[in-house]
Structure 1
């Protein structure tokens, strides 16, 4: 299969810096990658090919950075699987089901989730591990993708490791990550036959997100607000800010140009949701929100103030990276800088080495142990997401968040699924290795 280099340059021309930041690049050509970024780049890597390498700017050598990322891959994908029956004492999250099929397991919950499958596919793509990518995609396609009904072509949000569907509800972030990984795979490795025609599969998923209602189904995105709903087909009257992935939407507009206008509106709506959902005092967002960004308390939770949905808990950690990947790819905007500065100021005030992982939006710590196996204080997953705030922040101490990521051990044990995947993504984000493997020029004449 053909290979195409991703968008990336090692030297910027003056002309490249003059490309408008709010326009799609229509004439980008594929060039060589770069391993060094320039930090707060107002143009963004989609225009310039330069990705911020915060770890290098913090003083770590490229050799050290590459070794740390490779070590994380080896531990989480090839490490000790752990002792049966629960594998709590292990290192790996990647498990081979058959010679050509694999999954990543949420160790604490003993299930397979689309968020983790999408993250793992993207990590494999970015690090050029096609065998593992294909094995993960084969599992997701075979066992998780829904074949009929109102959510056809979406993915059941979790299964047993053997592939048995546990719920046909949809977690839209997982589907978006899977679609983005497939689109990038079509450029990095080329399209194969059947389910390995990556671009065709990505377009099928993206089309369903807006058009299942054309055949009496349920769309993933709300046509009035252009935001993803929480969980089709049932819970569609609210959203989750961390499900807004605006950086992906600009890629999706090129992957499926028939819906370009919808994806452009989703991009603007997703950015606005991430901005509005963050409390102006702390930068903390809720896990679930109304479409205007105000906190939404899930009806299945109790009446107490320390619930999951309307506070800053595990889902909400990811909103930090969503805003900053958008900044890295499409240019830093004033709201992103304000957001990251506010967030950093808050966590500095909590103690950089000791801050909690769960808060009320006003900054009051939540001391209820919501999930029995998750560390109560200073989760590696939150440390990893906070480190991405340095992409758009201007605080003088912003590199302390990058140093803290570097000093965090690769997660292992019971909580290694979520913490480990966020750790790997954080390392990719802050090393400039989370890159755009897509060129509109290379795909403009292709119908697949």
Structure 2
């Protein structure tokens, strides 16, 4: 229900509502959001069509071509080279005040937009950049930064990128994982990247570094602090559905439930005065807005509605649309949009504003383009037809963002355009023939592609070597593959009852592979990377290096080591 703030505004608000309602008579807006989600039914709402628009497809395609094209005023997708050699592409955060930079959120949004538009080349170009230039090493001296993606990169005087802030902005990791799982479903994981494995690794990083009590953190350095815009419960349900480990499924299902509870609590706590139903920049884990500033360089007080908070209604509506609408979704959306509608009618400027503190606008600017885009998506959970006319048309008639502030606004524009045209989908392997690599057999030989010889346990004691030898039927060459909760595998010798281990947990090239008592630590866990030719590589979890026949050699007794992954025959094995 729209909340009218004072009696003097009542007549004007009713007039606005009646006029808007009359206009909506021509539209087919569904004011009863389905309680079964589109992810379950496969029926994705085309809000543009509901609103009588017939040019949704062309607007989406044109918008993508501008964002990923070469128009200097709308382009966000740029090539990156070093010493004249092309490396990858990145999403450029245009900022005339502090200078252009590159952000993990933008890189992950770009990947999400690319996979939704079925553009694998652009997706791979962006992911290659993120992996090579944003990811922190797993052995970073600061445990909080191990394996996370630096949220901000800048350019030095020569144009080379460097990590300006190595800390994480966790919404980047969330969108990376989401985009990778969709890429796996759409295209499979047999090309340049194993999307599925990369997604699993990303989810483990989020779980181990960026969560507190099953709630996404704002930063690992401050307890009991979250950003409501980082809460994307529909993603968490998707993660649970796409993972195979029962414990991981349970974990992410619980995260989804906890996130929904947080969002409900947050909207309850901002209801009415003094926040007037608007989500805030920062919150405690119980949903309470964070009052004032709590860290150095904080751009706005934590209890303000500002540019991060624009995205909250978009995420709430996405959850309602994809996973099924509940009353709290609609109540939150109707109340937030109701405030904007009321303020637009009563503040004398004829528009609602970008930033609010306790219901009072904090700048003179009318609603930002990205804000208008997010509010259009919010209509997927609205039950008020007059709001559909007002907020959808406000977005649909808006030109695609251009110029100096096009990064944030333009990214939200494209994410919204996907959602309101029914093209923001959660893909599974059954949709497009991609999906998780086939499950390996429980017990197998591992035959090398280069030598045609098998991995062989050369003894039964701790420290006994792993070598290659002519394949035969003995237990020395039988390995049991034990699935781990994070999706990796331990390889247990049937001969020694010990596990294949990177000696000493080394991360160096040439480190020996031997056997040790199974403790299932990172040095005993390997990711199976399907090479698409019947062979797999075995990538060590702790070092990101691959099991390798030294040389490579075709001789019996050749040593097995780890080495930087290159995809050669000495690093390819098949289940035999």
Quick check: 2:189–2:437 contact (8 Å CA) kept in 1? no
Normalising by structure 1, we get a TM-score of 0.80
Normalising by structure 2, we get a TM-score of 0.63
Q: 1:341-369 CA deviation, whole Å, 9 max, x = no partner?
A: 11121111122761101112x321113x8
Aligned equivalent of 2:25: none
Residue pairs, 1:191-270, within 5 angstroms = 191-193=189-191, 196-211=193-208, 219-222=209-212, 224=213, 226-232=214-220, 234-256=221-243, 257=245, 258-270=247-259
What is the rounded CA distance, in whole Å, between the counterparts of 2:428 and 2:178 in structure 1? 10
Aligned equivalent of 1:311: 304
Quick check: 2:317–2:381 contact (8 Å CA) kept in 1? yes
Aligned equivalent of 2:46: 53
Partner-residue secondary structure (3-state), 2:79: strand
CA displacement at 1:262 relative to structure 2: 1.6
Matched positions, count = 382
CA displacement at 1:440 relative to structure 2: 8.0
Q: Kindly tell me: are residues 210 and 307 of structure 1, through their superposed partners in 2, closer, same or farther at Cα, counting changes over 3 Å? A: closer
Residue pairs, 1:152-171, within 5 angstroms = 152-161=146-155, 162-171=160-169
The structure where strand makes up a greater share of residues is 2
Aligned equivalent of 1:27: none
Quick check: 1:37–1:53 contact (8 Å CA) kept in 2? no
Q: Kindly tell me: are residues 132 and 302 of structure 1, through their superposed partners in 2, closer, same or farther at Cα, counting changes over 3 Å? A: closer
CA displacement at 1:192 relative to structure 2: 2.5
Q: Is residue 282 of structure 2 the alignment partner of residue 299 of structure 1?
A: no
Q: Is residue 326 of structure 2 the alignment partner of residue 347 of structure 1?
A: no
Q: Kindly tell me: are residues 398 and 405 of structure 1, through their superposed partners in 2, closer, same or farther at Cα, counting changes over 3 Å? A: same
Residue pairs, 1:65-104, within 5 angstroms = 65-81=56-72, 90-98=73-81, 99-104=86-91
Q: Is residue 369 of structure 2 the alignment partner of residue 380 of structure 1?
A: yes
**2:121 aligned residue (127, 131, 155):** 131
Larger RCO (CA under 8 A, 6+ residues apart): 1
CA displacement at 1:445 relative to structure 2: 5.4
Residue pairs, 1:393-432, within 5 angstroms = 393-400=382-389, 401-432=391-422
Quick check: 2:88–2:129 contact (8 Å CA) kept in 1? yes
Q: Kindly tell me: are residues 125 and 132 of structure 1, through their superposed partners in 2, closer, same or farther at Cα, counting changes over 3 Å? A: same
What is the rounded CA distance, in whole Å, between the counterparts of 1:128 and 1:120 in structure 2? 12
Q: Kindly tell me: are residues 236 and 94 of structure 1, through their superposed partners in 2, closer, same or farther at Cα, counting changes over 3 Å? A: farther
Q: Kindly tell me: are residues 37 and 210 of structure 1, through their superposed partners in 2, closer, same or farther at Cα, counting changes over 3 Å? A: farther
Quick check: 1:341–1:395 contact (8 Å CA) kept in 2? yes
Q: 1:125-145 CA deviation, whole Å, 9 max, x = no partner?
A: 001111111110000000001
How large is the Cα RMSD of the aligned pairs? 2.3
CA displacement at 1:386 relative to structure 2: 0.7
Q: Is residue 357 of structure 2 the alignment partner of residue 364 of structure 1?
A: no
The structure where helix makes up a greater share of residues is 1
* Structure 2 portions without partners, runs of 5+: 1-27, 440-486, 488-527, 529-576
**2:314 aligned residue (313, 321, 337):** 321
Aligned equivalent of 2:103: 113
Q: 1:256-295 CA deviation, whole Å, 9 max, x = no partner?
A: 3341222111101111222222321333111111111111
Name which of structure 1's ranges 274-283 and 402-411 shifts more when overlaid on structure 2. 274-283
* Structure 1 portions without partners, runs of 5+: 1-35, 82-89, 212-218, 370-375
Quick check: 1:80–1:91 contact (8 Å CA) kept in 2? yes
CA displacement at 1:308 relative to structure 2: 3.9
CA displacement at 1:189 relative to structure 2: 0.8
What is the rounded CA distance, in whole Å, between the counterparts of 1:192 and 1:154 in structure 2? 24
Q: Kindly tell me: are residues 423 and 290 of structure 1, through their superposed partners in 2, closer, same or farther at Cα, counting changes over 3 Å? A: same
Q: 1:40-94 CA deviation, whole Å, 9 max, x = no partner?
A: 2210112100011111100001xx111111111122221422xxxxxxxx22111
> Rg larger in 1 or in 2?
2
Partner-residue secondary structure (3-state), 1:160: strand
CA displacement at 1:391 relative to structure 2: 0.6
CA displacement at 1:180 relative to structure 2: 0.6
What is the rounded CA distance, in whole Å, between the counterparts of 2:40 and 2:48 in structure 1? 22
Aligned equivalent of 1:31: none
Name which of structure 1's ranges 438-447 and 423-432 shifts more when overlaid on structure 2. 438-447
CA displacement at 1:245 relative to structure 2: 0.9
Q: Kindly tell me: are residues 271 and 301 of structure 1, through their superposed partners in 2, closer, same or farther at Cα, counting changes over 3 Å? A: same
Q: Kindly tell me: are residues 236 and 143 of structure 1, through their superposed partners in 2, closer, same or farther at Cα, counting changes over 3 Å? A: farther
What is the rounded CA distance, in whole Å, between the counterparts of 1:210 and 1:132 in structure 2? 28
Q: Is residue 265 of structure 2 the alignment partner of residue 276 of structure 1?
A: yes
Partner-residue secondary structure (3-state), 1:207: helix
Partner-residue secondary structure (3-state), 1:164: strand
